[in-house]
Amino acid sequence: MSDFDDDRADLEKTSVVSSDTFKLRIAEAGNAPPSIVLLVGPANAVGRQWPIEDTDYVIGRSISAHVSVDDGSVSKSHAKLTLEGGAVTIIDLESTNKTIVNGNVLLPLSPRRLENHDQIKLGNIIFKFLERGNIETVSAAQTFDKANIDPLTQINNKGALEYKGIEYFKKSQLLDTPFSIITFDIDHFKKVNDTYGHSAGDYILKEVASDINKLIRGNDFFARSGGEEFTAILLGGDCTQATDIAERMRTTIGNREFDFQGTKIPITISLGVSTKSNKDHSWLDVFDRADQALYKSKKGGRNQVNVIDS
């Protein structure tokens, strides 16, 4: 495709954007650092973007890599991005499956300067490089965020939870730090919809999500994992800490006055807690126990916290 065709394609993509929105994106792009975007790789990570803001960024399979990609074709430390004087170079770190830029195999430990829209292939993984100030940086970030955010509650969705569950579990193993999960349901939510209407149900979902989100610590993760079910991952939180946080969640919602169009709606939540043990092979092992503990809370009368530790 010629440069003219590229320009025309870009124009066609942006022509449907309103003038004010386009001006805002231009302004945001002006402050955007260079970045790489995942084009081909794990399905729940495609579109994810990594800004290049420090001197050296290692790309690899290791969870400790700055850009960590969970794929067996990628070496633990596969390649390194270096930012210097506004320019970004890439270096293959003697990887098993090579580093390829625009179809050209890089010699190990030999730097190659990246240009806008260069494609970087590491094993079966493909990234695209975006230079500083590229408007596509803003669009890519917005697209990825939209795919991982629940449109009603504006918190993370189930797809984002599955990705973060894998990532946080591996981090807990690497750092030898506790990993706990809290999952909860809104009690009798069907009755809320049936009695007050679905608009009231949507209001409750949004308000509960907002209230609980304020209790989530900076290193933790919170998502809507089902219709009226929510899940929090606590990285560095042991069972005692997770149980304390779950109790705060329970009392926060139980003591909250939900007022929908002048009607008071009493709301409580049931919660389950579990913490990673040495027997666990994945984050789903911990999640399943937390879900069993949640079921125990519901069977036990609701509006309570139960723990299944291992």
Phi, psi of 159 (to 5 degrees): -60, -40
For residue 73, count CB atoms less than 10 angstroms from its CB and return exposed for 0-12, middle for 13-18, buried for 19 or more.
Answer: middle
Choose the catalytic residue: 131, 136, 207, 228.
228
Rounded CA gap, 305 and 248, in Å?
Answer: 10
Q: Nearest CA to 158 among 228, 70, 233, 226?
A: 226
Rounded CA gap, 306 and 301, in Å?
Answer: 11
Interior angle at CA 86, CA 83 and CA 87, nearest 5: 65
H or E, element range at 7: helix 3-14
Whether residue 228 lies in the annotated active site: yes
| 53 C-beta neighbours (distance < 10 Å), count | 10
Tell me which residues are annotated as active site: 228
